[in-house]
Structure 1
Amino acid sequence: MEQVNHSAAGWRLVQYRRYGRQSTYLRNAVILTIALTQPSDATRRARRSWRGDLGFTVAVTAIFSALLVNTPLNPLFWSGVPGYGFDRSIYGVTPRDARLASFLATRVPPDAPLAASTFVATHLVNRETVYLVRYPFEARAERLPSLLPQVQYALPDALFDWYLHLDDGYGGGLDYDRDAITTLLSDPAFALVDMEDGLLLFARDAAPDRALVNRLSLIPDNGAPVLQRFGPFDLVRAQVDTIAPRRLRATFVWRVREALPPGAQYVAVSRLEGVAGARFVHVPGYALRPAWEWREGDVVEETFDVVVPPDTLPGRYSWRVGWYDVRHPDAALTDERSRMTGTDEYPVAMIEVEQ
């Protein structure tokens, strides 16, 4: 039986090492207390109270816990510092988790062999074959091409929402699965067939009518007026059409006034205002040819299909688009914290969702 267990040790190290650190602190506190309370040879025969030793041990343990462990007794718990308090990189439980769990339970075949994003795989271990699209010891999704012939489905996360602040940078981050998405888009055996709030479902040998379009091309500049500016990118055309029930096709044309500075990485993300789970990463400009590779003078046309969440109530919704800093700690939330400086969301169209 093939399970995620080939990477279990590395994964536990990434996901749960904070608990290892905390238990180490507590253990060291107890050891230090025992060492401090050991009598010398000269006083070993003196009578002493076990209650005093116990009280001293409890006091020292409490002090170490307050100073070193992420609890409400620690001043840093309330400071808002990354990695402390209720920061999501510590506890990792978000409202999005419930949506993704429902998506996996209702729209992913229960027995099919698959490869999944790191924290999505925790919902899928009760099956015979589960791989990761990227293992914790990999700098990129290096093993994925060799694993794809063994699976029927793949589930990378375009809004990877686990971020761990490190002294020399960060672990995880929004673009953690981007390389896996690029690999799957370039594999002719797989097609993107479904999605939910950034989680993408690729299927092997999918029927053509299920495949969601994702394409990007450079086109001539026809001098079209600017609809909205996003830093160095000018939006010159935007169109969203309904092509099937709860399935939309979006086309965006961007004129590049100047290339992004070295090291800067941004991604366009659209959403249906007021609809939970209806965030759509512009996959072509993220995984086929990322925006940080666009050059000054380019006119980039990206076309992509999206699926509206099935629990969306009928009605009219505003389609809005914004640009977000891929390397920001809160990039996966796609809100004002990670939005490109000096920009705001732009309302592209009103979308009618029918029953």
Structure 2
Amino acid sequence: MKSHEILACSFSEWYPLFKKVTFPSKIIPLSQEFVDYLLADNLVLRSDQALLTYDKKDGSNSSDSEDDEEGWAKAESETPALEAPHFEDIDKEIATTIAEFGGKAFIKLNWSSPKDAAWIALNNSLQCHISADVHLLLKSSDFVLHDLTQPFKDCEDQNLEETPVKYDLVLRKWVEINPVNEFRCFVKNKNLIGISQRDDTQFSPYIENEKEDIVRDIISFFKEQIRPKFRLDNYVMDVFRERKDKIVLIDINPYGVTTDSLLFDWNEDLLKITISEASETSSNCVSDTPDFRFIPEESGIRSNPLRRYCVPEDIAHLTSGEDPFKLMDLLKLRSGTQEHNADSD
């Protein structure tokens, strides 16, 4: 995977080519000041209704409430220097765009949406109604942080720090999508080699019943709308099958480990498909049918990988065994508590 492939998959690069086959969107260029604000630890959100102070380091937050004046006064005294940032031009564009989109919008940066931060929103979704919703989700997301700090982490290129990145905020018209109708498609050497059920956390008999039509619709869409226009040989595209014979492009992603392979495996399945495809090409007999994978029964359902973002980092490390020292500290604390209780008795 090369840095130019990452840049080509940036939203502002591919959206002008596919406006007619994707959701209405607005691209708002971000100033360096706003990017620095997203990277800062502390967050103060201000709106007509509420003020929220949030610390990214420990995940704590406090909000103003008439029922908890004492707690708010304490939080206010602890963070006297924090002030709500003012990005009037950007916030005005956000408000105008959301209004144009019917009062709600989906957001993302160049490559990633803050889907790992949906749990922190009041509605537990990425649906944004005001600029404060946008700020909160962007500031709370590790996926967005990756876009801002390590977009070329998995690239083979050298001197990646010299690769310039122009960051954008993307607002998309909110559309209710049944996850069962979303699919991730893998394109190698301009050939569609694999299709995966996008949501691999649920089983749906619909996909089994419609699998042949699904594959046929996606192949037609790819050949007619995407392949002739997109310059990369290798990439991953997400699509939504709105109905029979109607496919909508959702996103275009880099072809590599940066992108979740879902029901495939980058080091095994996709590599084997690529080798097989190369062999068929040399024999002048290229297969026109991609490998389609979906959950065939309820026993194949996977746990939702985003759930781990809903718990404090310390707890996640403790339960996964990533930090053995935290486990030792917990056992020592437990032992000390037991000894104290014994002495009290």
TM-score interval, normalised by the smaller of the two chains:
under 0.3
Question: Which fold has the larger relative contact order, with Cα–Cα distance below 8 Å and residues 6 or more apart in sequence?
Answer: 2
TM-score (norm 2): 0.23
- Larger fraction in strand: 1
